[in-house]
A = this chain, B = another copy of it.
Amino acid sequence: MSGAFPILSAAEAAELIDHGMLVAMSGFTPAGAAKAVPRAIADRAKILHEAGQPFRIRVLTGASTGTSLDDALAEADAVSWRAPYQSSRPLRQRINKGEVEFVDMHLSHLPQSVLFGHFGDIDVAVIEATDVTEDGKVYLSTSVGASPTFLLKAKKVIIELNRGQSKEIGKMADVVVPDTPPHRKSLALDHPLQRIGTRYAQVDPSKIVGIVENDQPDELGGFTASDELSSAIAGYVVQFLTEELAAGRIPKEFLPMQSGVGNVANAVTEGIGASTEIPDFYMYTEVLQPAPFRLLKSGRMKGASSCGLTLLPEQIQEISEDIDFYRDRIVLRPQEISNNPAIVRQLGIIAMNTALEVDFYGHVNSTHVCGQNIMNGIGGSGDFARNAYLSIFVCPSTAKDGKISTIVPMCSHVDHNEHSVEVIVTEQGLADLRGVAPAQRARLIIDNCAHPMYRDMLHRYIEKCKPGHIYHDLERCFDMHRNLMRHGDMLAGETSSVA
């Protein structure tokens, strides 16, 4: 980087952000999230609040972020509106108390909504980068997310230059910003690792108001080792994929995999890696997590296209040190491309995402506990599930020590509907819903996936329903949720009305 742009302290940068502004920041998971500036904005908010002045901003990012961004801003009560995804405990609490407006979006939709101006103008973008040139080439860091579009649309830009991240990682990006319709060109991307763009994002250099230097690593949360439950789920998934291969419904060379966030998804990828019957494979996914990275290292995975490197610091280090190996095996893409419906459909992705609850007919809730309180958001799960070759949802059959059955008569919030969910897997077993009508789906899901202690209750619900194409009783469909809310246990309370 040349000395073309003013160097600012984080606090000086934060001074450029005023109450009411729409601020777009880099970050797709903690990978590549802005850190120094949002923390300084949080500090500024606290000072202003103490002085009795209002200070709340509207915040856009690629997806979730690290503690310096969402946690810090939420704890300072500095956020009035947030999109498109989050996974921060303090922020979630404020959203669920109605203190922060949250718009839960398909991640592939975000960049085009920004480009089209659906949220109004972006006042300032704060983007982590490994390098920026005088003519406005921005080399991003461990994630691409929506940063290329933010750089294009923001009125002012602050670059967080992360000296701790290798410049080689900054060159793993493949940046394309599709045009506005109707003259958007088709995406000629025929292989998970194909490059169709540039290694940098472009910004009009006159918009860069300052550079903030930083060397903090990504703030990655812990991953727990796979336990018995998730290993059992992984076992059923591997068995199913092996049978599909044998039946010729998955081609011999296999298909690119997508895997959702969280521990169960991590365990299933590990299980697939350990299988001797599934051939070496590619991932075309949204987030590259630690377990799949290990498969990349071992050669079991042939390559990964992703939107960010959600990896442990030592794994990031490893990439920098062995860049000649990883350069041709990892491509980082904007979320509009990593999650693009066109590519997901075309490549024939096997999508594997995690559910909070699943109902008898194959609807999936991935976002709202008891229909009300948000966990994280839909993220990219809809982009992948809807357009996948095979759409698999996994979850343990119970939560909270068995007090919650994740298999319920009716989902209290529907993020993926019966038309887009093909296979359900719990530690109890697997239900293949392809070509199966509702009444038969219910039996399959209860018998194969529900926990034995809930099966009778679930069957009795159906038996007492008036027939229809779908068997439901709108007066009893949420009795289990009601038991949970009143008595802390789905099995407790007036079970008579379910039973």
Contacts and interface: CB of A to CB of B under 8 A. Distances in A.
A343 B342 CA distance: 8
A184 B184 CA distance: 20
B372 A119 contact: no
A102 to B, nearest CB: 6
A97 B437 CA distance: 13
Contacts of A3: none
Contacts of A482: 474-475
Copies in the complex: 2
Contact of A253 (B102, B113, B182): B182
Q: Among the interface residues A247, A469, A475, which one has the most CB atoms of the partner chain B within 10 A?
A: A469
Nearest to A475: B482
Interface string A303-344: 000000000000000000000000000000000000011110
B182 A83 contact: no
Interface string A332-372: 00000000111101111000000000000001000010111
Contact of A181 (B186, B348, B372): B348
Contacts of A413: 470
Interface string A374-414: 10001000100011010000000000000000000010111
A371 B474 contact: yes
Interface residues of A, number: 88
A276 interface: no
A418 B190 CA distance: 31
Contacts of A420: 106, 382
Interface string A94-122: 01111001111110010011001111000
Q: Among the interface residues A101, A105, A372, A418, which one has the most CB atoms of the partner chain B within 10 A?
A: A372
A274 interface: no
A342 B106 contact: no
Given A106-B419, A382-B419, A481-B474, A180 B98 contact: no
A248 interface: yes
Contact of A363 (B81, B183, B342, B414): B414
A255 interface: yes
Contacts of A372: 466, 468-472
A6 interface: no
A484 to B, nearest CB: 10
A386 B341 CA distance: 10
A52 interface: no
Given A368-B470, A386-B386, A485-B474, A348 B182 contact: yes
Given A386-B386, A419-B106, A345 B342 contact: yes
Contact of A439 (B101, B185, B466): B101
A225 interface: no
A345 B344 CA distance: 13
Given A255-B182, A256-B182, A485-B474, A439 B98 contact: yes
A453 interface: no
A415 interface: yes
A183 B389 CA distance: 13
A185 B343 CA distance: 10
A414 B109 CA distance: 20
Contact of A186 (B98, B188, B371, B470): B188
A216 interface: no
A246 interface: no
A429 to B, nearest CB: 20
Given A382-B419, A419-B415, A474-B412, A103 B187 contact: no
A378 B362 CA distance: 15
A222 interface: no
A328 B113 CA distance: 33
A469 B346 contact: no
A197 interface: no
Interface of A: 81, 83, 95-98, 101-106, 109, 112-113, 116-119, 178, 180-190, 247-249, 251, 253, 255-256, 340-343, 345-348, 363, 368, 370-374, 378, 382, 386-387, 389, 410, 412-415, 417-420, 434-440, 466-472, 474-475, 477-478, 481-482, 485
11 contacts: A96-B468, A98-B469, A103-B437, A106-B420, A186-B188, A341-B341, A342-B345, A374-B469, A382-B386, A417-B417, A475-B482
Q: Which 5 A-B pairs have the closest CB atoms?
A: A181-B348, A342-B342, A372-B468, A101-B437, A414-B414
